[in-house]
Structure 1
């Protein structure tokens, strides 16, 4: 079997390609087992490619005494592009569970997109083929031969691993160490906060590399520097150059001269179809302003698995859809015991998505890279335990968050103070991360509409207002005194974070759907321009 497959593709063809495009001939189905995969020549080629890497990195040996080899299996998955088309037949030779590797935070990806748009350079993407086969492991590990691909001469032998492999818990970390070592030897500097960020300065030019396991985003101010890095990577690893960054972690990215637009239209349509909401009646807002969700213990119980699946899908969508942030987080509180009223509220969000599937975040090339933060709180807003909801909004990387506070706040001052402390923490992380990009900030303005909470920060003798506040939140005062942040009062009408603690109300004239949709898009385009 192995010999027959080896005759199908020559080694010289693979070796001669430093970079290669995805094959135009790929299977559109996902096999359920090995025999099904062997019926299609495209899957045979994909399996051969994996097996070739496997044999090149491991030795087929007699199993030693008391050897307990790890079982193997084929897992067949198609890799899709932003248009939903299959661009690659992916397969793994080993059962891979419980794998870990340092990965970039979503906020870090958004910061990189905002920075690249402001500086006017295009981001590129590459994929490392068989990434986990590029790191030597120290342990002595044996695995069985892949099913249906056993050697005809030595069917009882096992592979002794020389390099990390899918399924080994140390494999992702080993690959990260291998890549990090290579980049550091290539004069890159690792980010002081984000360990998946690497930067290279050459003269007056800069090259930025962001890694997410085996996906690599890179770009720079010099085309020569970017091309040189691509060639260098191709010499060290087997690379698949994806070209301009367009589709990453479910995010659709459109880079242009005027800026970068990030959206999840494909993902939105996918989840609408998944939960049978594709033919639902569109709604102009994600939740009615009169909606008041509560535990509803007398309501009819609904399928918890389905409800949690809907919430999980929507939570990921908030990465580019701040307009549903509050509504999704509110519904997420009832996952333990969802009722019909809760499911109806979630379906209302889906119907709103049906109406506005292509809204997203806009990073303007003309925006200044200034850093600001907004914080607000809804005191005792949760109807279940009367805990407050903190809302923070950081402007640059368009990082938005909304979460329920861990303790009950006795005063509105305390709730606003805790929210400001949360925003301060995120601003300090962004400040440290942006310092790796060469950006320096003095006092970062943190805009709060609670004058009493600002007084608590600036005046340490307000004991009656502060004695119930947990000590850990007082680092806000500490960083104010250090000059890292500056508490600034903003009137409630201009408090940007306020729109994330209550249902949105659309103010438009007329009932024509096209007019309403246009108004929604114009309002959110204006808002997102402010966020960037």
Structure 2
């Protein structure tokens, strides 16, 4: 009798892959009262409140009668290094921005998010030219953005003033959760960088460039994470020192872990991957022990808008495809499959869901794959477009951009 064991076909037992919670990783509290009972979470709360005081974020005032007052809550998160080792407890006070009223306590909104294409191009230039690449994080970035509107917020839970319990916080600086907070921080940073001689890119508003003679410096902004590279170490260090004088920033370090991207640089070049992101995604959808597959998408049958039974709740499908879209930052091999699945976001079916899980199976066998920037690469632009205007028979039902596969520019 031929068994799977005799044919060397082994399916891992899931119970042996369950990792026990480490004793030094505290549970994330659900309420501020739970957090106050733990020394480590109390320290995290105190750090956040101290940052509010240091930046003069708000003033306690009597509750206004004719103004909207937004609530606030604490967000508790355990922070880990890229290796999965526990780092620290982090507590963040977040305003309930969904209670804001447009035209009353906010007008314009904007989020400084650097484009993935821009990051890839700048990294390719830096690696090809053997430039140093530094990363830094701004502490409580939004608290350093000045508000233009009159905004009131409830006092932080657990830190209500005993002498004035009915008072509210009149915000002077932006707070995480406010609709205009990212824009306020961006304008603050932009004004400072322009005063140093930087120019704001017209193609990507989160890219700033500085040219002094024959030297160049590029600065990329993703909310409160900054990437900086340039032709001279002295020029980069000068900008880093000026940033540290103006804002509260963490010590800069060589690029290693940025926006969930794991960077490994050698003399041969730079390798970017999202291994930890992939592992976390597989855990989330219980696909860690899934049987790996060799391709992210089946060549047939072709997915259509009406293939399969519609999902009763499309939310989970949309979350998964959204996560895969961010993963396509370094996994260009799944770009076409993810782009195809994105065309069914408005009406996904069981067939679309199975196709999305197939991508997870493919990732389960290739978690360390990524994109490589060679140090010997020539700075020449190469582009390829496979246009397929007539290949989608449902072009009248769903919006398509006219492109099938778009290959990387380098």
TM-score, structure 2 as length reference: 0.82
- Alpha carbons of structure 1 residues 255 and 157: separation in structure 2 relative to 1, 3 Å: same
| Higher relative contact order (CA closer than 8 Å, sequence separation 6+) | 2
Q: CA deviation at 1:32?
A: 0.6
Alignment of 1:247 onto 2:257? yes
Give runs of aligned pairs for residues 119-158 of structure 1, distance below 5 A: 119-158=129-168
Q: CA deviation at 1:86?
A: 4.0
Q: CA deviation at 1:33?
A: 0.8
Q: CA deviation at 1:146?
A: 1.0
Match of 1:467? none
Aligned mates of 1:294, 1:66 — CA distance in 2: 53
Give runs of aligned pairs for residues 81-480 of structure 1, distance below 5 A: 81-97=81-97, 100-296=110-306, 299=309, 301=311, 303-385=313-395, 404-405=400-401
Which runs of 5 or more residues in structure 2 are unaligned?
1-23, 99-108
Q: Deviations over 1:158-194 (max 9, x none)?
A: 3332222233332221111111111111222222332
RMSD between aligned alpha carbons? 2.8
Which runs of 5 or more residues in structure 1 are unaligned?
1-25, 389-402, 406-417, 420-496, 502-526
Aligned mates of 2:389, 2:188 — CA distance in 1: 49
Identify, as 1 or 2, the structure richer in helix.
1
The 8 Å contact of residues 122 and 255 in structure 1, kept in 2 or not, is answered as no
Q: CA deviation at 1:46?
A: 1.7
The 8 Å contact of residues 125 and 217 in structure 1, kept in 2 or not, is answered as yes
Aligned mates of 2:355, 2:94 — CA distance in 1: 42
Match of 2:32? 34
The 8 Å contact of residues 127 and 374 in structure 2, kept in 1 or not, is answered as yes
Looking at CA atoms only, which structure, 1 or 2, has the larger radius of gyration? 1
Alignment of 1:59 onto 2:59? yes
The 8 Å contact of residues 46 and 90 in structure 1, kept in 2 or not, is answered as yes
Q: CA deviation at 1:383?
A: 4.5
Q: CA deviation at 1:102?
A: 3.0
Match of 1:78? 78
- Alpha carbons of structure 1 residues 121 and 152: separation in structure 2 relative to 1, 3 Å: same
Match of 2:48? 50
Deviates more, 1:140-149 or 1:98-107: 98-107
Q: CA deviation at 1:97?
A: 3.5
The 8 Å contact of residues 73 and 96 in structure 2, kept in 1 or not, is answered as no
The 8 Å contact of residues 295 and 362 in structure 2, kept in 1 or not, is answered as yes
- Alpha carbons of structure 1 residues 332 and 302: separation in structure 2 relative to 1, 3 Å: farther
- Aligned partner of residue 100 in structure 1, secondary structure: coil
The 8 Å contact of residues 218 and 228 in structure 2, kept in 1 or not, is answered as yes
Aligned mates of 1:122, 1:220 — CA distance in 2: 7
The 8 Å contact of residues 296 and 334 in structure 2, kept in 1 or not, is answered as yes
Aligned mates of 1:162, 1:387 — CA distance in 2: 48
- Alpha carbons of structure 1 residues 61 and 55: separation in structure 2 relative to 1, 3 Å: farther
The 8 Å contact of residues 93 and 166 in structure 1, kept in 2 or not, is answered as yes
Aligned mates of 2:379, 2:341 — CA distance in 1: 34
Q: Aligned pair count?
A: 375
Q: Deviations over 1:3-35 (max 9, x none)?
A: xxxxxxxxxxxxxxxxxxxxxxx9643221101
- Alpha carbons of structure 1 residues 232 and 379: separation in structure 2 relative to 1, 3 Å: closer
- Alpha carbons of structure 1 residues 346 and 192: separation in structure 2 relative to 1, 3 Å: closer
Aligned mates of 2:146, 2:392 — CA distance in 1: 52
The 8 Å contact of residues 71 and 96 in structure 2, kept in 1 or not, is answered as no
- Aligned partner of residue 250 in structure 2, secondary structure: strand
Aligned mates of 2:232, 2:308 — CA distance in 1: 64
Aligned mates of 2:140, 2:40 — CA distance in 1: 18
Aligned mates of 2:150, 2:88 — CA distance in 1: 32
Match of 2:11? none
- Alpha carbons of structure 1 residues 303 and 70: separation in structure 2 relative to 1, 3 Å: closer
